[in-house]
Amino acid sequence: MTSPTLTSDNASRLMRLRQFGPRLTAPGFRGQSLAFDAQGRHLASMGRGAEGTLQWWELRDDHPRACANHSVTRGTDVGFLAGGDLLVSLTLQGVLQAWSTADGTLRHELRLDAIGLELGVALQGDLVLVTSPRGHALLWDARRGERVLELENASTPLQCCALSPDGRLAVAGTREPGNLPGMLRFWETRTGAALPAIDLDAHSVKAMAFEPSGERLAVATSENQIHLIEASSRKRLRTLESPPVGTHGLSFSPDGSLLAVACAMAAFVVLRTRDGQQLFSHSDTNDMQASSALFSPDGRTLVWGQGDGTVGVWGVAPEHSVTP
């Protein structure tokens, strides 16, 4: 029986429905970056650590079918292109790779002149946005394997980024030196031109995510706050309090009423975006890992990378009808 759609009325009753994937026992395991394709047919995981593991599954009922398993040295991020036929991985050495989800073959590769944990990456359609601690931001067409353009240099370290659902707006968060406030930088992806930035009351920006409708952007800062920004006006709507957010820390539910927050230390919480009320929380025993927490595209489940390398699937148990 299908689980009901997650809402602010039932999110407090979240429970782990199942888990899948092999345990990852490689030394230095630091968590997982997770990604769904837009149709919810596939889920991918990049196990982060010295010996990263890239794997993805075809989602079939309660028994996902493993499609591929690759060893990727120091992998950091993963995401799907439009259509779900290609996925993109990023490594700590600045290597972008596009893989076929059908047969697991490597289709394209781009080596960046950047190395560091603070490389940011975001995907939308066939475009990949990458930002670096040197202030560089570039767009890569992962389907064609071609570099599109470099956005106007921000002249300040960038450490996370996002692309709007329509692909027209690129956003990156800064990590400012000294006591300068962190900022949100914006660009038009068609021209690469910079738009006016937003100052934030924080030292750095930790994570960000667009609402599926594209109307709002959630931005987590080092001050344990999440700012909701109106995308069209780039104005701050409200601020929510939150626990420390990890690198892959934010995910909206499809209707935008809920926000999954992946914490920096082996936990995730679910907040109501209307007022910031915490509706659910769960923690793991492996406090050395920080993993994605993502709503599925249909909004019925939430997946979280667990400390043993498996993927937990969370939802609300369906109500069984009782026959008199």
**Residue 5, domain member (yes or no):** no
- pLDDT tens, per residue, the chain with 324 residues: 688 999 999 999 999 999 998 887 667 778 889 999 999 999 999 988 777 789 999 998 778 888 988 888 888 899 999 999 999 999 888 889 999 999 999 999 988 875 555 678 999 999 999 998 888 899 999 999 998 999 988 788 888 899 999 999 999 998 766 666 778 999 999 999 999 999 888 888 889 999 999 999 999 988 899 999 999 999 999 999 988 887 668 999 999 999 999 987 788 999 999 999 999 999 987 667 788 999 999 999 999 999 888 999 999 988 743 333
**Residue 101, domain member (yes or no):** no
**Residue 26, domain member (yes or no):** no
* Domain total of the chain: 1
Rounded distance between C-alpha atoms, residue 244 and residue 263, angstroms? 6
Domain housing 284: 11-19+116-314
**Residue 210, domain member (yes or no):** yes
**Residue 209, domain member (yes or no):** yes
Secondary structure of 173-216 as H, E, C letters: EEECCCCCCCEEEEEECCCCCEEEEEECCCCEEEEEEECCCCCE
Q: What is the CATH number of the domain that holds 308?
A: 2.130.10.10
In degrees rounded to 5, what are phi and psi of residue 11? -60, -25
Rounded distance between C-alpha atoms, residue 29 and residue 264, angstroms? 14
Q: Tell me, what's the pLDDT at 114? A: 59
**Residue 33, domain member (yes or no):** no
DSSP for 86-128 reads EEEEEETT-EEEEEETTT--EEEEEE-S--STT-EEEEETTEE
Region of 298 (left: φ > 0; alpha: ψ -120 to 50; beta: rest) is alpha
Q: Tell me, what's the pLDDT at 73? A: 80
Yes or no: say if 236 and 198 are a contact pair by the CB < 8 Å rule. Answer: yes
**Residue 58, domain member (yes or no):** no
**Residue 61, domain member (yes or no):** no
Yes or no: say if 88 and 123 are a contact pair by the CB < 8 Å rule. Answer: yes
Q: Tell me, what's the pLDDT at 322? A: 38
Cut 0.85: pTM above it = yes
